[in-house]
């Protein structure tokens, strides 16, 4: 049954960042005013994403502190507004990086809510139409719009499900959109939180060949276990040369300041597609326009995915058995988890647990 206003909480306990370089502190903060389309969740798990760190550090622009980050959120539904039809109290549910959109513009009405012309509402560091702040999942509770809340498949645990709502979706959606399928030959730059999903998606989508590109040899065994058919240490020019003109797609999940665009783009065949999902804080530089032209390469970006893509992804993962490699931390150890994340320790996704 829909909740009454009298039964609803007004605040939550979250691990808030008060400023760049500061430790997170447990803080009581206000939940948004409950609306007819809203869903309440008791948070059980929340994944840690690179976006969280960028935001805590004001890396992509000024952050509205105090900020509670976390946009890989899973838990149990505790209340629904009167307009909510597909989710009920007691359901296991999840939400990702987007919590709202205008739902009225051309993009929203055509199933591209993540590209809302009035601007998507981020799960944290954003504002609801009312002007209230959005807060993420390093917390005990979350509240938001039903359109961006999804049921968890029965054969998927909460701790695994959390990572699908950003890391998995960020790689899944553009790979589907750009037709990774049987016969594809896919290169994955970076075997990390996003990359370890991208490898599995490529295999599950039927790719004939999946090539890992990494700056060192230390993840070779992991890449093989994940499903890679080949592994290339990018400093080895002979290994790189073997794939000249061979790949139909590249999924770039890791971007460094000295990114070697000519070397990577040279591995693509004519009409190949380079998908950039690992977003740097600075503008791209050093892209060889001539190489793009002579091979008719498509260079594209992608931001999370639309709600229909989230639902499709969850069903596809439940069917194919794609599964994250995770390490769990108690929610009250979030500062240690963040430091370990900064130190490059995830293999390959950290998940906080209440």
Intrachain domains 5-152+324-353 and 168-301 with the same fold:
no
Tokens of 253: 């999940």
Average pLDDT of the residues in 287-295: 96
Nearest-angstrom CA–CA distance, 308 and 101 = 14
Average pLDDT taken over every residue of the chain: 96
- The pLDDT, as a whole number, for residue 109 is 97
Query: pLDDT-derived band of residue 271, with 50, 70 and 90 as boundaries?
Result: very high
Q: Any idea where the domains of the chain sit in the sequence?
A: 5-152+324-353, 168-301
User: What's the pLDDT tens digit per position in 28-70?
Assistant: 999 999 999 999 999 999 999 999 999 999 988 999 999 999 9
Question: Taking the CA atoms of the chain, what radius of gyration do you get in angstroms?
Answer: 20
Average pLDDT of the residues in 321-329: 97
With a pLDDT cut of 90, the percent of the chain lying above it is 94
User: What's the pLDDT tens digit per position in 335-345?
Assistant: 999 999 999 99
Nearest-angstrom CA–CA distance, 349 and 324 = 7
CATH class held by domain 168-301: alpha beta
Q: With helix as H, strand as E and coil as C, how does the chain read?
A: CCCCHHHCCCEEEEEEECCCCCCCEEEEEECCCCCCCEEEEEEEEEECCHHHHHHHCCCCCCCCCCECCCCCEEEEEEEECCCCCCCCCCCEEEECCEEECCCCCHHHHCCCHHHCCCCCEECCCCECCCCCECCCCCECEEEEEHHHEEECCCCCCHHHHHHHHHHHHHHHHHHHHCCCCCCCEEEEECCCCCHHHHHHHHHHCCCCEEEEEECCCCCHHHHHHHCCCEEEECCCHHHHHCCCCCEEEEEECCCCCCCCHHHHHCCEEEEEEEEECCCCCCCCCCCCHHHHHHCCCEEEECCCCCHHHHHHHHHHHHHHCCCCCEEEEEHHHHHHHHHHHHCCCCCCEEEEEC
Least confident of 235-249, 279-293, 303-317, 323-337: 279-293
Strand partners, 79: 40
Nearest-angstrom CA–CA distance, 38 and 82 = 8
Average pLDDT of the residues in 317-327: 97
Average pLDDT of the residues in 18-30: 97
Query: pLDDT-derived band of residue 147, with 50, 70 and 90 as boundaries?
Result: very high
Query: pLDDT-derived band of residue 279, with 50, 70 and 90 as boundaries?
Result: confident
- The pLDDT, as a whole number, for residue 2 is 58
- Is the confidence at residue 118, as pLDDT, over 60? yes
Nearest-angstrom CA–CA distance, 119 and 326 = 32
- Is the confidence at residue 353, as pLDDT, over 80? yes
Query: pLDDT-derived band of residue 3, with 50, 70 and 90 as boundaries?
Result: low
User: What's the pLDDT tens digit per position in 156-214?
Assistant: 999 999 999 999 999 999 999 999 999 999 999 999 999 999 999 999 999 999 999 99
Alpha-carbon torsion, ordered 153, 154, 158, 164, to 10 deg: -20
- Is the confidence at residue 5, as pLDDT, over 60? no
Average pLDDT of the residues in 221-238: 96
CATH architecture classification, 5-152+324-353: Alpha-Beta Complex (3.90)
- The pLDDT, as a whole number, for residue 60 is 86
Average pLDDT of the residues in 341-352: 96
- Is the confidence at residue 6, as pLDDT, over 70? no
Strand partners, 142: 41
């Amino acid at each position: 049954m829909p909740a009454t206003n009298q039964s609803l909480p007004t605040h939550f306990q979250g691990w808030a960042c008060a400023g760049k370089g500061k430790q997170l502190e447990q803080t009581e903060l206000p939940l948004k005013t409950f609306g007819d389309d809203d869903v309440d969740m008791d948070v059980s798990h929340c994944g840690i994403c690179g976006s969280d760190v960028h935001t805590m550090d004001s890396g992509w622009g000024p952050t509205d502190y105090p900020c509670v980050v976390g946009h890989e959120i899973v838990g149990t539904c505790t209340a629904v507004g009167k307009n909510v039809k597909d989710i009920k109290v007691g359901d296991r549910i999840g939400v990702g990086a987007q919590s709202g959109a205008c739902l009225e513009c051309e993009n929203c009405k055509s199933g591209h809510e993540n590209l809302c012309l009035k601007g998507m509402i981020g799960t944290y560091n954003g504002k609801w139409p009312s002007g209230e702040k959005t807060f993420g999942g390093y917390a005990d509770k979350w509240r938001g719009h039903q359109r961006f809340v999804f049921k968890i498949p029965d054969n998927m645990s909460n701790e695994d499900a959390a990572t699908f709502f950003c890391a998995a979706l960020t790689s899944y959606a553009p790979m589907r959109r750009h037709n990774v399928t049987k016969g594809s030959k896919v290169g994955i730059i970076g075997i990390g939180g996003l990359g370890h999903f991208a490898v599995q998606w490529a295999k599950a989508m039927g790719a004939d060949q999946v090539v890992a590109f990494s700056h060192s040899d230390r993840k070779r065994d992991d890449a093989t276990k994940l499903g890679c058919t080949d592994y290339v240490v990018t400093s080895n020019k002979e290994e790189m040369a073997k794939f000249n003109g061979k790949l139909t797609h590249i999924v770039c999940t890791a971007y460094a300041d000295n990114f070697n665009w000519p070397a990577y783009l040279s591995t693509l065949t004519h009409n190949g597609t380079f998908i950039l999902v690992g977003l740097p804080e600075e503008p791209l530089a050093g892209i060889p326009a001539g190489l793009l032209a002579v091979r008719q390469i498509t260079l594209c970006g992608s931001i999370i995915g639309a709600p229909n893509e989230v639902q499709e992804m969850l069903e596809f993962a439940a069917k194919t058995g794609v599964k994250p490699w995770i390490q769990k931390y108690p929610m009250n150890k979030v500062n240690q988890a963040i430091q370990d994340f900064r130190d490059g320790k995830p293999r390959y996704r950290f998940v906080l647990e209440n």
